Structure 1
Amino acid sequence: MRLFHNTLSSNGRRVLMVAEQLGLPLDIVQVDLMSESERARLHEINPNGKLPVLDDGGFLLWESCAIMQYLCDITPGQTLYPQDARERADVNRWLFWGSQHFAETVSILSFENLWKAMIGMGEPDPDEVARAEGQLKQLGAVLDTRLAERDWLAGDALSLADIAVVAPLMYLDQARLPLRGFPHLMRWFDRLRQLDLWKNTEAG
């Protein structure tokens, strides 16, 4: 299987962490998003022009959470994505929340505080930063409450829920994410950072 990826992508890192935990080898194809020709080729395999994209023998799959689920579904005996309907629904809840709310808000601060200057688009917009910081603090409170008396987001062990939600925190410091004041969230993040799936997927 090939994964079209860019090391700056937290969505791609989600997939890498799942593959690492499952012991699935992936042939990584690095895509230079600053290259017009490579962006054009990316549109040929994903009409959205976004990463990551999985190529499994000609089966092209985009959307990171869909890829994560697929990797689990083709791996016998895996425990990241439970079979029980309610347990799976609980994991799905956090997959969707992580994509629609948490990662989306993190991406605003990543753009304003990190990428904007790197691509020559000027200084952060203070109004946009303030709005996103307020939203992220609300979301951080949701996570902190959830993790106050539990080690993992769903069930009693690591699952796709944890991997999906934690990935954007790779930019905790660079994007100046206002989350360090949430002790249960940070305890959970520190636990995940000690795992091989985090250490082995850090950009070299």
Structure 2
Amino acid sequence: MKPMQLYYFESPNARTACAAARHLGAPVEFVRIDLKLGEHRRPDYLALNPNGKVPTLVDGDTVLWESPAIMAYLAQQSGSDLWPSAPSAQIELLRWVHWSAAHFNHHGGALFFERIVKAAFGFGVPDPAAIEAADKHFRRFAQVLDAHLQGRRYLLGDTLSVADFAAATMLPWKDAAQLPLDGCPHLTEWYARIEALPAWRQPYPDAEAADMAA
């Protein structure tokens, strides 16, 4: 049987999907798509993901985009509680996944773009107004997450889930992107638990692979 293929680059969402796959021990073949070379715009890749983004998971006739969907699929395939079995927990997980995308990672991603991506891809100089706005909003939503995590090990309680991987998407670049996390002790303790996971520290199949900030 042909293994699943996970197409990735060393970018935030793809990195998260790779980390989940490694954590689960999922039987995937990692296929690197070099965004700097424009490989995401090749016709064969666009036939899989017309958005021209990473990650993409291919499992036979099943083709998935979006890292939370890929993580949920891999967790279900592995029988892992990264995707909880209780419907109420699934709803709570979806709430935090969507919140992360719309707020926490959205504004963290803006800082990542201004301070890392622009230089890496030659997109010009950082925009001070964009940085100021993103910094303000990120601080607000970091406080929301910090308050939720008080008294909890993970977003859903005591059990690690897809929601934690999704919420932590931008945090490997917290220093390079200068994400403002001061005054968020519960968030910091939570992320230290995520960061301690071997798969989170080394999400790629190639031990020499580097994240964009390197």
Return the TM-score normalized by structure 1. 0.92
Cα 1:142/1:123, change in 2 over 3 Å: same
Q: Aligned-pair distance for 1:120? A: 2.3
1:197 has 2:199 as partner: yes
| Counterpart pick for 2:139 among 131, 137, 140 | 137
Q: Deviations over 1:74-111 (max 9, x none)?
A: 223x1111111111111111111112222221111111
Please give the residue correspondences for 1:34-113 in structure 2 after superposition, counting only pairs within 5 Å: 34-41=36-43, 42-76=45-79, 78-113=80-115
Q: Deviations over 1:117-139 (max 9, x none)?
A: 22223321111100000010011
- % of aligned pairs identical? 38
Return the TM-score normalized by structure 2. 0.88
1:123 has 2:132 as partner: no
Q: Structure 2: how far apart are the matches of 1:157 and 1:64?
A: 20
User: SS at 1:142's partner residue?
Assistant: helix
Q: Aligned-pair distance for 1:199? A: 2.1
- Any gaps of 5 or more consecutive residues in structure 2? none
Measured on the aligned residues, the alpha-carbon RMSD in Å equals 1.6
Please give the residue correspondences for 1:147-158 in structure 2 after superposition, counting only pairs within 5 Å: 147-158=149-160
Q: Which amino acid aligns with 1:18?
A: A
Q: Deviations over 1:29-81 (max 9, x none)?
A: 111112235422332211111110001123211111111111122223x1111
| Counterpart pick for 1:114 among 108, 113, 116 | 116
Q: Aligned-pair distance for 1:27? A: 0.7
Q: Which amino acid aligns with 1:131?
A: A
Q: Structure 1: how far apart are the matches of 2:20 and 2:119?
A: 31
